[in-house]
Structures are given as structure tokens and as C-alpha cells.
Amino acid sequence: MQKSLDVLRDRTSDTPAFRKAANDVCNHLVRRTKRALLKNGIEPAHVVVIIILRAAVAFLDVATRAFPEAPVGVLGLKRDEQTLKPHWYYENLPTISKNHTLIIFDPMLATGGSVEAVVKRLVKRGADPKNIHFVGIIASPKGYERLAKRIPQNNITLAAVDRGLDERGMIVPGIGDFGDRYFGYVGRAIIG
């Protein structure tokens, strides 16, 4: 997995190389998560996959292959680049109960604001925080600590925790904007 992480961190990696490396890391993290769930007696039939648009689309194929019976919830939030606060723009969730094991997928855990908002939303919809898991590629210590106040630390699976955040709330050293790189955007997307 380290080789794939190195490709993700290399700012000169082209889109095909970045996507392949992302897929390799996602595969590794999902397999690790599934093994841990099975070891703890959690039935795959009780799993609900949650993806946060847009970057978590990278996890979707791998997650649905690992948990083929799992319904998929899709949540859309966009972080305001000035305030660093998340803004909701989409929600489509299956029925959720305290008995479900929810796995939130999002490659980057920077400030933790978006995933904290997701956890609050899932709890409001009926989830038990102790049954919520998070799978991501890279986190900042601040994001990790913020999430660990909402769900059990043992429920957080990451490939790496980097040293911190820059003044724009981006993970340092990080890998840049995961979504832009994964979706092949050279510049920013045009919305609207």
C-alpha cells in the first residue's frame, strides 16, 4: 500500500496513475475494514455504505463489491473555502436503525467538519454512534481527533495521519485536492 500512497502524494502523477493508486489504497482499506467487522461479529447484511460526494465515489465500487447486499446512502456537502464550514446540498439515505453498521467513506479527513456533520445527520436519522465507522485515506491530527469525539477511535480506519493543516484547511503534506485529481480536473470545476 505504501507504493500506492507514494503515487498519490506525488503531485506529478497523471490521472490514470492517481486513479489506479487510489483504487489500490481503497481496496486495501475496505478489506481491512471488512476483516475487522467480521472479527467483531458484525454481519455484512447489517452494513450500510455511506459516501460523501464527490471524492468518496472512489470507494463506491470497492465498497459495494465487499458488501454486495449493503444499501448505499449518498450525502453531498461542500466545504466553504473561506469559513471551512460544510454546506449541505444533497441527501439520499436508506432507512437507518440503531442495529445498522454504517461505514462512511471519504478519502480526506482534514478539519473534520464535514464528517462531523455527517455523523450528526446519521444519528438524527436513527444511527447509533458506536455503530458508525469511518474509512479514509489521509487525515490531519485535528480531523482525526474531532471525529474520535463522535465515534469510537477503533471505528476509524486510515492509511495515514499527516502532520497538520495549512492556512486553507488542507492536509499537509497531504496529496492535494483528491477530487480534482481523481476526476482529472487540471483546474477548478465549473459549477452552474
Active site residues: 79, 83, 177, 180
Q: Residue 114 is inside which H or E element, if any?
A: helix 113-124
User: What does the alpha-carbon distance between residue 71 and residue 115 come to, in Å, rounded to a whole number?
Assistant: 19
Q: Own/partner pairs for 77-80, CB < 8 Å, 24+ apart?
A: 77/52, 77/53, 77/114, 77/117, 77/118, 79/111, 79/113, 79/114, 79/169
User: What does the alpha-carbon distance between residue 69 and residue 79 come to, in Å, rounded to a whole number?
Assistant: 31
- Which three-class secondary structure state does DSSP give residue 16? helix
**At 178, which amino acid appears?**
F
Distance of CA 79 to the CA centre of its chain: 14
Joined together, the cell numbers standing for residue 126 give 436513527
Residue for grid cell 469559513: 83
